[in-house]
Structure 1
């Protein structure tokens, strides 16, 4: 006769174990200690086996019968229920170990060797602030497109559409890595392409010739540190990226040969870069040596001497000079690159020469072999003519000559 809850509850422990059968090999063993244990006796290849389902009342009669049905189905396939349970536990343990955060951290470690330190911090900071608190502890297989959509919409709602786009892209890369390492079956972030409105790109505003003259005049009257003035003049003359200038080391410069060699790890494209130095740039650098030549960095941070100039220093100076900030033309330090590119093209220099000096990515895969000294003769002449043009623009008209 099948078991009932009333019979189970009323059965008291005896000196020896009591066996209450339910049918199909399922029974409840009542031990002298008072414990009541569910057991399933079955045979595979004419060998009797025992499967421990669990303890009553933690596992009710209905739950025991459900587990019994599953176990019987496995036995019919020649599988031991205990082996299947071990496999399920192992799968669960692996899933719990392979959380979204764990896989993301591993992905960062694998990929960051080709990233700049700034980009790595950007990835870690945004994932840590916007993603991990919501899905970081979930097994990566359990993270869905709905989870990710909620996250990126939350980011977009605070006005950070660019960050939302980056988070979707990074999440997609993390899932692709998980698929490649057999820890996920698909990339749910791929379904969210187009879910975020891409903000309109704001191109860096270049300075016109007249504005270069205004800029140099404002710089002459700037009341801040002389090293900041030199930095702004150098970035106009060399049109490198602001991070490349701020983090520059004296060991990278050969002033006698008028050359600056920037190592690959500081370049956006992760390739070494040569900057030919004009006579005007060398004069500025020799002056700068009198201020910071005894230190490793050209532009150390005044408050933290072991660090370099902060990213905001140059833009703050431009703001004080009226070129950046509210009610200004919105010119930032990065705009010197656009200024040089625009005017050098007008001067008739070949775009290949200009692009190589700007250290832009080589888009023609046939020419993927990067030569840092390519077009060097033309680049040296161009950098000197660029510095001479700036001097000419800023020169005072001779007496009797119209301004």
Structure 2
């Protein structure tokens, strides 16, 4: 009976942990785990043989391999014979696509369902077509640079996520013995990609242009993408939060959108106060799509809209900015047009953390009344005719 258990292996800290019979679990400071068998033959020679990484090779499998190799070394009297047998039985090196699927299956255990799905879908859409068939042990910095080049300057936020996720797959492959070479150096990747403009912020529609844009959109057909975009503008929310919004999150009587923690980037529940413009969009969505499930449903049953659906509405209107940029638009408007409102109020409206840890400990209010007044003022500003001060009717 070995000294280790599945639970001990799973929770093992950095160091070397013996199971007995020459079998050891090595754990690096990074948390990567691998099996090593220290075997000795009758001739007195001794060698360490790597048996693979955990969790690809579980405890039971490691013991089976160790038992077989010890037997071979004892019968042949040659540790090199055991090494040769083991090498001939090693799992073939995987392609990037295979390694990505295995990495997703394992790493997603510690991620939310939404984040895990984004990890897989983004790599399948942008990286697998370029690197998917290439052996994971042969991928170089130049290969990663070539795969990222198409999105690096056009969609910097997405490209950064793709770089991180690609490196996670390669790191997972290395930890499991499918790749022996060092990972592509971060500096090499930066030097090999085009220089980006300063800032790297999301392009935002100037707040003075928003009333005309909104007035134009309000006169068009009530598609899910258009209503979702308008709701995003009126609430200053993230598009992902809007696309995931469900009717059970809405308190129509209290005029509030109570967003659960799993919808939020910060993983902390947040309440949005709904202004007149946002309430009118909900009424239009109810007529168009019903009042159950997703407020702004996709074309497939129970499927959310894609992030590109909202962007297409912007592009069709001749705008080159980003949907996320409307949050910056709102913040600029609040700073310039609502100077009497404390700065933390629009920050709270954006669901940002405000103040130091000490200030947060003493600030128990979410300033909901002040946020409601601010959002009503935003509603009155954006929902107006591009000429004059007359209000555009939000037809139900």
TM-score by length of 1: 0.61
Q: 1:372 to 1:317 in 2, by over 3 A?
A: farther
- Indicate whether 1:378 and 2:370 are aligned: yes
- Indicate whether 1:336 and 2:332 are aligned: no
Report what 1:239 is aligned to.
236
- Indicate whether 1:353 and 2:340 are aligned: no
Instruction: Report the Cα distance in structure 2 between the residues aligned to 1:99 and 1:389, rounded to whole angstroms.
Output: 54
CA displacement at 1:397 relative to structure 2: 4.4
Report what 1:135 is aligned to.
135
- Per-residue CA deviation, residues 190-239 of structure 1 (Å, 9 max, x unaligned), is 36343323433363122332x233223322432x2365554343222102
Describe how 1:4-153 pairs up with structure 2 within 5 A: 44=43, 82-91=78-87, 93-94=89-90, 96=92, 103-112=99-108, 113-114=111-112, 115=115, 117-136=117-136, 143=137, 147-153=139-145
User: RMSD in angstroms over aligned alpha carbons?
Assistant: 4.0
CA displacement at 1:245 relative to structure 2: 1.7
Does structure 1 conserve the Cα–Cα contact (< 8 Å) formed by 2:222 and 2:284? no
Between stretches 95-104 and 196-205, larger displacement belongs to 95-104
Does structure 2 conserve the Cα–Cα contact (< 8 Å) formed by 1:272 and 1:372? no
Does structure 2 conserve the Cα–Cα contact (< 8 Å) formed by 1:243 and 1:311? yes
Q: 1:228 to 1:174 in 2, by over 3 A?
A: closer
Report what 1:189 is aligned to.
184
TM-score by length of 2: 0.62
Instruction: Report the Cα distance in structure 2 between the residues aligned to 1:205 and 1:153, rounded to whole angstroms.
Output: 28
Q: 1:108 to 1:127 in 2, by over 3 A?
A: farther
Q: 1:352 to 1:92 in 2, by over 3 A?
A: farther
CA displacement at 1:170 relative to structure 2: 3.0
Instruction: Report the Cα distance in structure 2 between the residues aligned to 1:116 and 1:353, rounded to whole angstroms.
Output: 33
Q: 1:282 to 1:153 in 2, by over 3 A?
A: closer
- Indicate whether 1:169 and 2:164 are aligned: yes
Between stretches 187-196 and 270-279, larger displacement belongs to 187-196
Give the structure with higher Rg (CA): 1
Does structure 2 conserve the Cα–Cα contact (< 8 Å) formed by 1:176 and 1:186? no
CA displacement at 1:134 relative to structure 2: 1.0
Instruction: Report the Cα distance in structure 2 between the residues aligned to 1:92 and 1:171, rounded to whole angstroms.
Output: 29
Q: Structure 2 unaligned runs (5+)?
A: 1-40, 45-73, 391-396
The correspondence for 1:387, drawn from 374, 379, 384, is 379
Does structure 2 conserve the Cα–Cα contact (< 8 Å) formed by 1:101 and 1:132? yes
Instruction: Report the Cα distance in structure 1 between the residues aligned to 2:217 and 2:168, rounded to whole angstroms.
Output: 45
Report what 1:213 is aligned to.
211
- Per-residue CA deviation, residues 33-83 of structure 1 (Å, 9 max, x unaligned), is xxxxxxxxx9848xxxxxxxxxxxxxxxxxxxxxxxxxxxxxxxx995544
Q: Structure 1 unaligned runs (5+)?
A: 1-41, 46-77, 137-142, 325-329, 399-403
CA displacement at 1:340 relative to structure 2: 0.6
DSSP 3-state at the match of 2:257: strand
Aligned residues between the structures: 307
DSSP 3-state at the match of 2:272: strand
Report what 1:204 is aligned to.
203
CA displacement at 1:305 relative to structure 2: 4.1
Instruction: Report the Cα distance in structure 1 between the residues aligned to 2:100 and 2:328, rounded to whole angstroms.
Output: 36
Instruction: Report the Cα distance in structure 2 between the residues aligned to 1:374 and 1:91, rounded to whole angstroms.
Output: 62
